[in-house]
Structure 1
Amino acid sequence: MEREETTRQQKVGRQIQKDLSDIFLKEARSLVQGTIVTVSKVRVSPDLGFAKIYLSVFPFDKSDAILATLQEHAGTLRFELGKRVKNQLRIVPEIAFAIDDSLEYVERIEKLIQEQ
């Protein structure tokens, strides 16, 4: 059973989403290698010590490579995030990345509908 996120978790999640989007746009351009990476959702643990970041990657076929690269550089990305949230959070959460494939799912459904 999944618990409802508190207001604090939601606020921290939104802040992390905003800051990581900015990091991908500016500092981490070399990591995303010409793909479009969007932070679609951030889930934060109740103790604010862990954040799971859901990413949408376009083109879809590069999502596994991008995910592996970002996991490899998670420490650096966490450090950059820490520089931005140091005044809001006492502890910078550990981060883990996951692919949000909802857009790919929608595209597949649309193709199936058009084929009929």
Structure 2
Amino acid sequence: MESKRQQKFASLLLQDLAAVFQRDLPHLFTGLPPGISTVRVSPDLGVARIYLSALLAGSGEGLLAAVQDNSKAIRQALAKRIRKQVRIIPELVFFLDDSAQYAAKMDAIIGTLHIPAEAPEADDAPAAPQAPPRPKLFADEDE
């Protein structure tokens, strides 16, 4: 479980990395810059694991390779943005977030399942339980 400090720092990194990708270094990516789905920070705030989403950017492996090749420039641009707010600029480790693709795969698998709906027969079906009568709270209350 992450501490409040880690969560705040991860939120700061998420916002500033998104700004770096969109404003400072858009020339590094062909097409759209990657989206950042999650940032996880180590307890000492020295290492940040950034999960990139490649839904709109195209090929995931090509995107991850481009980001990893330019990780030094990305870290320097991030340092310019957050240098007055933090003591140590974290080491950035990038991963490809495939949770959306996994969800689509599971949705397709569940969609192909054929589960027959069995209706209970009239003879074997138990009678529906009836609600107990409501007690009268006042003497002049009608039913």
* 5+ residue gaps, structure 1: none
Higher Cα radius of gyration: 2
Match of 1:106 in 2: 103
Match of 1:17 in 2: 14
Aligned counterparts of 2:111 and 2:27: Cα–Cα separation in 1: 37
User: Contact (CA 8 Å) 2:57, 2:63: kept in 1 or not?
Assistant: no
Q: Which residue type is aligned with residue 8 of structure 1?
A: R
Q: CA deviation at 1:24?
A: 1.1
Q: Secondary structure at the match of 2:54?
A: strand
Q: CA deviation at 1:69?
A: 1.0
Q: Secondary structure at the match of 2:111?
A: helix
* 5+ residue gaps, structure 2: 114-143
* 1:67 partnered with 2:64: yes
* 1:5 partnered with 2:2: yes
Q: How many residues align?
A: 113
Match of 1:58 among 55, 61, 67: 55
Q: Which residue type is aligned with residue 59 of structure 2?
A: K
Larger RCO (alpha carbons 8 Å, 6+ apart): 1
Match of 1:90 in 2: 87
Q: CA deviation at 1:19?
A: 0.6
Q: CA deviation at 1:36?
A: 5.1
Identify if the C-alpha distance between structure 1 residues 24 and 60 changes in structure 2 by more than 3 Å, giving closer, same or farther: closer
Larger relative helix fraction:
1
Bigger CA drift: 87-96 or 31-40? 31-40
Matched-pair identity in %: 37
Q: Secondary structure at the match of 2:34?
A: strand
